[in-house]
Amino acid sequence: MSRPLIHRKPGRLALPPTFLFLAGAFAAAWLLVSLFGRGQFLSAANITNIFIRSVALGIVAVGQSFTILGGSIDLSVAHLISVTAVMSSFIMQGDSANIARAVAVVVAIGLGVGLLNGLIITKLRVNALIATLGTGLFMQGLLSTSFQNFAGAVAPEFEVFAYGTWGPVPIPVAVLLVVAALGVLVMHRTRFGAYLYAVGGNREVARLSGLRTDRVLIGAHVIASLSAVLTGLFIAARLGAGAPWVGQDGVYDLESIAAVVVGGTALAGGRGGVLGTLAGVLIFSIMDAMFNQLGTGAFLKQVFRGLIIIAAVASYSFRSKEEVS
Amino acid sequence: MSDGHPTRVQEAIRGTAGGRWREVLRRLPPIFVVLLAICVWISFLNPRFATVPGIMSFLMRAAPAAILAAGQLFVIVSGGFDLSVGSLITLVVLGSSMLIGGDPANTWWVIAVMFLIGIAVGVFNGAVTSWLRVPSFITTLGMLVTLKGFALLWTGGAPRGFLPNNFRVFGRSRVTGIPGLEQVPYAVIILVVTAVAAGYLLHRTGWGKQLIALGDNPRAARLSGVPTARVRIGAFIASSTSAVIAGILLGGFSGVSTNVGDGQELSAISATVLGGAKLLGGRGTMAGAVAGALTLQALFTLLNLLGWPKPLRDGLQGLIIIAAVAYTAWREQRR
């Protein structure tokens, strides 16, 4: 392997090629909606709408970027989102006095799940896909045994997280942007971020160079779990309560992986970044908004979404000479 | 590397009677021991399980998952994943009921069309992965989304129509009059034929060996002349074909529904891994994969008998998979 450990020049933040794809998607949507759709594509309301659509998937996808960049993966996020949404609204019971306690509990759960995932993968040497599939099934099992329907309610003050505005900017969009900025900061400006690129590029070489690769991977999984918790809190705020199926219904596990990879991060790890992921999520939201305005049914939208995932990744990979499977 | 060339110590151990037994046990993939233990436990709780009809109906229920695992193994040993099989099952069930339209005369050509669709999906998955170099996890994830959308688009999102009896016989009926066995479900015959054929293809043909070589080290395989694209496309066709068979059985067994295939892809991957296959390729046995699927089904049967609710059964499945893989990793490291 002659691949360098850290691809980026330190201190420089190159715009990933995904942004070309994003611009293309935006232009195509604009054109198609103007020609055949109803309503304006370039209205402030529509653009805001596109961003709001991106919040739930965007936050968890930022976290997923860390695991994939490190050469790992997290399939448990959708189930953790359900656990968070249910537990937070169950603990709050509509009372604002309980907000702090509810948030503390779900953050603790997130930390625990992230640690557990990381430890199973690094110490027990279980393949990440199987490990997180297992912890996800286990969490979902416990959750669905204890709750069959919407449980409790979030406090009215907590719904600000989903519906409040901050000047012209909706609070959830501001949260997404802050999360993405934090992600960029951690990935490109901290030692942990640099180590993560090294571990994702080649774990064995990173270990032989003296990195504590296990700790780096555990850190990545904790970040992914915490981001899933934040998405779970957002969904609870938006729905007013959590139900044990909200995470799976949103297919946040596979969709977050798709967003990361469409965003230009290599599935094998070592290349990519958070900004690309944000672009990946926005591409999905733009396509959704476009199909809505064109009056395309939900199922045709799904057909296209799958093909877009393949096409986007193919557009970066087809020139590569590497053998993939 | 002790598999093909036993060391002198192993030869010596094999000489003694007790040592021979230990050697047999050591070589037996642990999944068979687990499967046997669970089956014995079930028989204690429900003595009818250990009779021929009991085993036959167990195998009948397990057949779709076992066939799916057998197909998935081809892709797993080549180093890839096939996540599209669950949606393909849904498409087969919904598409068959739409195309047959209630007229049993249509069954045969519809089944042929379903196999053609399966082969086309396999060729697409393999070709995109090989030539456009999209990781198969992503290719088949995209197909998972697309095929499910296509199936729902076809039926308008709800299960429509029904499957006539001559389609459903494969999933739910039995062949009678076989000496010594009384009744054998069609599904069990199909399972045995598929598993034997798949085992032959993977372990006894050049293609199977090339597939394992490809999964073990793609670069080395390509440099030593393995036509990687063709070999890999074959694996995806095998996997899709197994999904079509599983879909026909499931449609027969449980009728038309829109979520019949949901989650089947992950169960199939879990089954192969329980059976000792290595994710990212290079190792796996057909007997292990089928045993893995049977073990998952047996586990469900057992927990059901013990009165566990379904969500908790799913949860335990998660723990079992992790434990099995952790055990394999630990055993490997110790050697």
Write down the residue that tokens 């979902």 correspond to. Answer: A140
pLDDT given for residue B16 in this prediction: 60
B219: CB partners within 8 A, 6+ apart: A323
For chain A, the 3-state helix, strand and coil shares in percent, each to the nearest 5, are 70, 0, 25
d(CA B15, CA A33): 79
What does the pLDDT look like over B55-114, one tens digit per residue?
999 999 999 999 999 999 999 999 999 999 999 999 999 999 999 998 999 999 999 999
What does the pLDDT look like over B5-38, one tens digit per residue?
445 555 554 556 666 677 666 666 788 988 999 9
Nearest to A324 among B135, B215, B315 (CB): B135
What percent of chain B stands above pLDDT 90?
Answer: 70
pTM of the model: 0.89
Give the burial class of A15: count Cβ atoms within 10 A of its Cβ; 0-12 exposed, 13-18 middle, 19 or more buried: exposed
Residue A215 lies in a domain: yes
CATH number for the domain spanning A228: value is 1.10.3470
pLDDT given for residue A2 in this prediction: 42
What does the pLDDT look like over A75-130, one tens digit per residue?
999 999 999 999 999 999 999 999 999 999 999 999 999 999 999 999 999 999 99
Are B149 and A142 an interchain contact pair (Cβ–Cβ within 8 Å)? no
pLDDT given for residue B267 in this prediction: 92
A169 by DSSP, 3-state: which? strand
What does the pLDDT look like over B199-227, one tens digit per residue?
999 999 999 999 999 999 999 999 999 99
Amino acid at A140: Q
Please give the residue of chain A at the shortest CA–CA distance from B81. A325
Question: Does pLDDT of B45 surpass 70?
Answer: yes
- The CB density around residue B165, as the number of other CB atoms within 10 Å, is 12
Is the model more confident about B138 or about B25? B138
pLDDT given for residue B19 in this prediction: 66
Tell me, rounded to whole angstroms, the distance of Cα A236 from its chain centroid: 17
B114: CB partners within 8 A, 6+ apart: B92, B95, B96, B244, B247, B248
pLDDT given for residue B2 in this prediction: 41
Residue A5 lies in a domain: no
Are B134 and A144 an interchain contact pair (Cβ–Cβ within 8 Å)? no
Residue A273 lies in a domain: yes
Question: Does pLDDT of B3 surpass 50?
Answer: no
Is B159 an interface residue toward A (CB < 8 Å)?
no
Residue A40 lies in a domain: no
DSSP state of A14: P
Residue A17 lies in a domain: no
Residue of A79, A121, A127, A130 to mutate when probing chain B, most B C-beta within 10 A: A130
Are A141 and B137 an interchain contact pair (Cβ–Cβ within 8 Å)? no
Mean pLDDT of chain B, nearest integer: 90
Residue A39 lies in a domain: no
pLDDT given for residue B176 in this prediction: 83
pLDDT given for residue A13 in this prediction: 52
- The CB density around residue A212, as the number of other CB atoms within 10 Å, is 14
Where chain A has pLDDT below 50, the residues are 1-12
Distance from CA of B12 to the nearest CA of A (A): 33
Residue A259 lies in a domain: yes
Are A306 and B145 an interchain contact pair (Cβ–Cβ within 8 Å)? yes
Please give the structure tokens belonging to residue A153: 């309610």
- The phi and psi torsions of B183 (rounded to 5 degrees) equal -125, 135
Nearest to B315 among A141, A310, A314 (CB): A141
Write down the residue that tokens 């969490």 correspond to. Answer: A139
d(CA B134, CA A261): 10
**pLDDT band at residue B178 under the 50/70/90 scheme:** confident
Distance from CA of B180 to the nearest CA of A (A): 41
pLDDT given for residue B11 in this prediction: 52
Q: Taken in order B274, B278, B280, B281, is the CA torsion positive or negative?
A: negative
Please give the structure tokens belonging to residue B135: 């990781």
Is the model more confident about A218 or about B313? A218
ipTM of the complex: 0.88
Structural domain range at position A173: 52-312
Distance from CA of A271 to the nearest CA of B (A): 14
Q: What's the number of domains chain A is made of?
A: 1
